Amino acid sequence: MGELEGKKIILGVTGGIAAYRAADLCSELRKQGAVVRVVMTRNATQFVTPLTFETLTQQPVYSEIFDAHRAFEMEHISWSKWGE
C-alpha cells in the first residue's frame, strides 16, 4: 500500500516546456496509490496530449471550460468537490 493510497488528487498542467514533467509526477502519484485527475490549459495540450494523461490516470482529462457534452454540470465545481 502506497503513502497516498485512496487519496484523490487534481493535477493542474499549464503550457510550458516543463509540462512533460507532469506526466512523470502523475505516474509517481499513481504508483503511490493516489487517484489522479488532470486539468490542462489549452497551451498545455500543445506540449503533452490529454490522451497521455488519460492513459496514465484512467480518468477523464478536463481541458475545455466550455464543453458542449457537459452542459448540465458546472465542471469546475464538480471537480473541486471530487478532489481532497
Q: How many CB atoms lie within 10 A of CB 78?
A: 11
pLDDT by residue (tens digit) across 51-68? 999 999 999 998 876 655
pLDDT by residue (tens digit) across 21-37? 999 999 999 999 999 99
Three-class SS state of 62: strand
Q: For residue 64, what pLDDT is reported?
A: 77
Question: Please, what are the domains in the chain?
Answer: 8-82 (3.40.50.1950)
Task: Say how far apart CA 16 and CA 61 lie, in whole Å.
Answer: 18
Instruction: Determine the average pLDDT of the residues in 40-51.
Output: 95
19 has pLDDT over 70: yes
Judge contact between 7 and 37, C-beta under 8 A. Answer: no
Instruction: Determine the average pLDDT of the residues in 8-23.
Output: 93
